[in-house]
Chains A and B, each alone.
Chain A
Amino acid sequence: MTRHDVVIIGGGHNGLVCAAYLARAGKRVLVLERRERVGGAAMSEEVFPGFRFSVFSYVVSLLRPEIIRDLDLPRHGLHILPLESTLTPLPGGNYLAQWNDHDQNRRELARHSPRDAEAYDEFGLELHQMARLIKPILGVAPPDPASLAPRELLDLARLAGMFGRIEKKKFNTLWKLLTMSSAEYLDTWFETEVLKATKSASGIIGTLLGPRSPGTAYVLLHHYMGELDGVFRAWGFAKGGNGSVSAAIASAARAFGAEIRTNAPVERVWIEEGRAKGVVLEGGEEIRAEVVVSGADPRRTFLGLVGEKNLPGEFADSIKRFKFRGASAKVNLALGELPNFTCMPGRGPHLRGAVSISPSIAYLEQAYDDAKYGEISRRPYMDIVIPSMLDPAMAPPGKHVMSIFVQYAPYHVNGGWTDEKREALGDAVIDTLAEYAPNIKSAILHRQVVTPADIERIVGLSEGNIFQGELSLQQMFFLRPAPAWSRYRTPIGGLWQCGSGTHPGGGVMGASGRNAAFALLGERV
């Protein structure tokens, strides 16, 4: 029986980031991945012969630049190809195109509304400032404001100091973003419906909330954070699919000396006298370690691997209350030819960017209303990319892969998920897309539909929530995942958490894994 300093449960990107930092600090680290490959939800797979897909997550932007730097990820094969535009086709043949090029973007906006073109830069500036305010908070282990422990009080004071230095005006804007709906926030800036809708869509990603639900403005900001740092400028696509993000982190971790075992499903955390002593694999193998770190989400970690009987009642109640409510699905298509959009026919630069099906706020809100009562959206919101346009190796020559992120497909669908429901979702997506790109039906060679239930079953994310728990205000910062346990520790001595179910949350950021590693090493971030 080997002894390790640290055993990490789950080889998702956060587990791998945590492993890499711990190994870098000289710890003997073992990562245990249940599946045959690492990556968790950030993985690529050849689903159909010759066609490779980022089956689940599909773009990168939020991965913390300090992680890329610290772990030297480009040397380990990470290569980001930027997405150049977002096209929102409209019924009737009009469209809104947002380009990375500032002047081109401004001209296009002015075509819809000169006033909005005018306001756009100011809007961008405000979000940029807000993102800069939030950024340092992403790297903080949130203190417990109710605690009287000197260390926590000290950190609380530091945090208060950090906020105290913020201009009042900016703090108030931040508060607005935390509490407003994305639609209301955008109403204060713009008048063009399709612009508001497309922008507000980043506020609903991953949550069972509509653009008019308060709290979505923050999710909008959360997704905006990728658009700074000067590293990626905008959303990008990892060459080889999102699996290569995980592969690069894994390679970095190995280079620092971490050991990674796949096909090693953990059955439970081995607990003796209230302390974690290691883990027990399915099949009975026991692995001892000084410290166990779980990259699984809070529900799987505590109610599954630890077991309620080992937890204080109040903590178990908080974990049970922690909301997941997965709402997102993926449709992956193998295409014989490129889609031909009525509003922008032919092969153009727009196919190297994202296509957003979000014609109006009411459209998105209607899609949400279906899901709110347990139905699949009849006309869903979609975020579409064609990775093979940026990385031809993803598909055979002349052919393409299309990745469609879909909302809403509620995990708690009426009657539960069945094969019929899965196909009905696929049909709703294709039918909707065909309204804008009529050739899509004949272009499809293969189709893969991934429901929230599939995400839960395959990747292990509870209720298929892509953030390991809804990113709502009452589940953020010092309340993520439970009050008093937001600092990556748990009520079980020697057991830590590093998944996106902890502060600051999901989006292939890697910040949770990094913060957890620093907390474990007893270092300030």
Chain B
Amino acid sequence: MSFHAIVIGSGVDALVAAHVLARNSKQVLVVEERPPAAQDFGWVPSQVVAELGLKLEVQAPDPWVSALLPEGGKLDLFRDPARTADSIRKLSPRDAAAWPDFCRRMCALARVFGELYLETPTDPLNLRLALRVRRLGREGMVDLMRLLPMSVAELLDDWFECDALKGALGAMGILNIRQGPRSGGTAFRFLHHHVGSPEGVFRPSRSDVSAALKQRPGVHFRASGVEKIRLKQGRAHGVALAGGEELEAAIVVSGLDPRRTLLELADPAWLDPELARAIGNIRCHGVSARLLFNGSMNGGNLVWAPSLDYLERSYDAVKYGHVSTEPYLEAHPSPEGVEVHFQYVPYGAKDDLAATARRMLPGLENVQAASILGPADLEREEGWPEGQPYHAELALDQALWMRPLPELAQYKTPIEGLWLCGPATHPGGGIAGASGYNCARAILKEKS
């Protein structure tokens, strides 16, 4: 059987890419190795929602985060900045006063990224980009230039004194990376995870976008693993499925990570050896475990990140290959129970993570852990390389026009007809569907 395009992968980016291509009168087949996620993490760009006419169920918990305090009690951060300021005031009147201004300045910066995130990335030597940045005005420009290379700890120490507040915010700088809050570049990651959220909300939303895309008509599906991306005279020609069946298409779009796509499924002999080496060097350390507990919880996100120093010490452990004995934890209700994000866990760790989580998060004392997936398990179950959900670490040297490598940042690969659309491409994980959307548009632009 023959299609215009075959999309490999069942992540939200693969699904978005497939639907955007299909809408432009392509016969599109999605080959999915596993069923789509019941819940997706990250802002779904409004352009994607509008273009595909999606009706999404977006979680908007209020408070968006409840930070557990070491001395007992919680710091609730609400969607209404004024209400948040009220709860911060109990811990620090100074921080409460700084809150509205902080929210305004971060939102202005995140908006710049929001615009850049729905375009094929351009390198910074581009005049249009320079003009756009200048539009921010002096305050915004200085903020942006200072903030990009900064650590999230420096950023937050500039603004606040309250440890629990800084811990809960700082966690977004280190989410899913083998870095600590004092590592440079984590302030950028903090902003990245703010893109798309309303002013004063510093947690990406969750939605059912993958499930909605799976249900949306217009795309063919095939549940199967992929054995090979078939090449003919150096250009993509289709895929060979796990059972040996061969499907033809002139366009193959991969939502899998670049290493698997280019070095395993396609023939690396077609790549420049220097590029092949660079692909092998893409950093994708997984550092988090996902725990699922039976039972239920009240409210939205529960965070255990009592201070920036605490987070830094959690990180220290993983540098030497150990599980954090004092980890950063974040719990939220999921369709199956209570899901807990546990950071830092090195690849291949065998420690009893559930016991640690139970000890630190109230309400889990007596419930069973239904599943505990460390980085190695997540690699197997979700197809995340080394357990890294963003497929390539989101660090400054692997972001924007460098994501995942400058040679692959335009979604195109050196193999004609083979494209990348997964979270390893710009803008990357934590934004649901933007990479897939940008990739599909790049394909359509080239074909038109």
Contact = CB atoms under 8 A, between A and B. Distances in A.
Contacts of A171: 123, 125
Interface in B146-162: 146-150, 154, 158
6 contacts: A160-B125, A179-B396, A323-B154, A365-B320, A474-B147, A474-B154
A474 B183 contact: no
B397 A146 contact: no
Nearest to A473: B149
Interface in A162-178: 163-164, 168-169, 171-172, 175-176, 178
B125 A163 contact: yes
Given A175-B397, A176-B402, A483-B145, 16 more contacts: A145-B145, A146-B141, A168-B123, A172-B402, A178-B149, A179-B185, A180-B395, A180-B397, A184-B283, A184-B397, A214-B184, A215-B185, A372-B182, A472-B149, A474-B149, A474-B150
Contact of A369 (B123, B147, B316): B316
* B: contact size bracket: 20 to 34
Interface string B383-416: 0000000000001110001100010000000000
Nearest to B158: A321
A214 B183 contact: yes
A147 to B, nearest CB: 9
Contacts of B142: 146, 483-484
Interface in A461-509: 472-474, 478-479, 483-484
A197 B62 CA distance: 48
Interface in A198-251: 209, 212-215
A146 B283 contact: no
A2 interface: no
A213 B146 contact: no
A188 B281 contact: yes
Contact of B183 (A176, A188, A213): A213
A64 to B, nearest CB: 25
A215 B125 contact: no
A472 B158 CA distance: 16
Interface string A351-379: 00000000000100110010011000000
A172 B125 contact: no
B312 interface: yes
A311 B283 CA distance: 45
A284 B149 CA distance: 44
A169 B123 CA distance: 11
A221 B141 CA distance: 27
Contacts of A160: 125, 130
Interface string B406-430: 1000000000000000000000000
A472 B142 CA distance: 16
Interface of A: 145-146, 160, 163-164, 168-169, 171-172, 175-176, 178-181, 184, 187-188, 209, 212-215, 321, 323, 362, 365-366, 369, 372-373, 472-474, 478-479, 483-484
A369 B320 CA distance: 11
B406 A215 contact: no
**Sorted from nearest, which 4 A-B pairs have the closest CB atoms?**
A473-B149, A179-B396, A214-B184, A215-B184
B319 interface: yes
Given A180-B397, A214-B179, A172 B184 contact: no
Contacts of A179: 149, 184-185, 395-397
Contacts of A169: 406
B34 interface: no
Contact of B406 (A146, A168, A323, A483): A168
Contacts of A176: 397, 402
A503 to B, nearest CB: 14
Interface in B136-179: 137-138, 141-142, 145-150, 154, 158, 179
A293 to B, nearest CB: 25
B125 A483 contact: no
Contacts of B132: none
Contacts of B309: 373
Contacts of B123: 168, 171-172
A398 B390 CA distance: 62
Contacts of B83: none
B134 interface: yes
Given A171-B125, A214-B184, A146 B138 contact: yes
A506 B320 CA distance: 32
B319 A365 contact: yes
Given A179-B184, A479-B146, A483-B146, A172 B395 contact: no
Contacts of B182: 213, 372
Contacts of B319: 212, 362, 365, 369
Contacts of A212: 183, 319
A214 B395 contact: yes
Contacts of B185: 179, 214-215
B397 A215 contact: no
Given A176-B402, A362-B320, A479 B145 contact: yes
Nearest to A213: B183
B132 to A, nearest CB: 13
A169 B145 CA distance: 22
Nearest to B138: A146
A160 B158 CA distance: 31
Nearest to A163: B125
B402 A175 contact: yes
Contacts of A372: 182, 312
Interface in B180-211: 182-185
Contacts of B312: 372
A248 B134 CA distance: 45
A88 B148 CA distance: 36
A212 B397 CA distance: 14
Contacts of B134: 145-146
Contacts of B406: 168-169, 172
Q: Which of B185, B312, B396, B397 has the most CB of A within 10 A?
A: B397
Interface in B243-283: 281, 283
A483 B150 CA distance: 15
A474 B145 CA distance: 7
A473 B184 contact: yes
Contacts of A163: 125
Q: Which of B145, B154, B184 has the most CB of A within 10 A?
A: B184
A145 B183 contact: no
A463 B182 CA distance: 19
A224 B230 CA distance: 45
A172 B149 CA distance: 16
Nearest to A183: B319
A215 B141 contact: no
Q: Which of B134, B150, B396 has the most CB of A within 10 A?
A: B396
A321 B146 CA distance: 11
A423 B316 CA distance: 28
A212 B125 CA distance: 28
A181 B283 CA distance: 12
Nearest to B178: A212
Contacts of A180: 395, 397
Nearest to B141: A146
A472 B184 CA distance: 9
Contacts of B396: 179, 214
A483 B141 CA distance: 10
A336 to B, nearest CB: 39
A169 B312 CA distance: 34
A366 B185 CA distance: 21
Contacts of A369: 316, 319
A496 B302 CA distance: 52
Nearest to B142: A483
A323 B396 CA distance: 21
A184 B138 CA distance: 34
A127 to B, nearest CB: 16
Contacts of A175: 397, 402
Given A172-B406, A175-B402, A474 B141 contact: no
A365 B147 CA distance: 25
A373 B180 CA distance: 14
Contacts of A172: 123, 401-402, 406
A474 B149 CA distance: 6
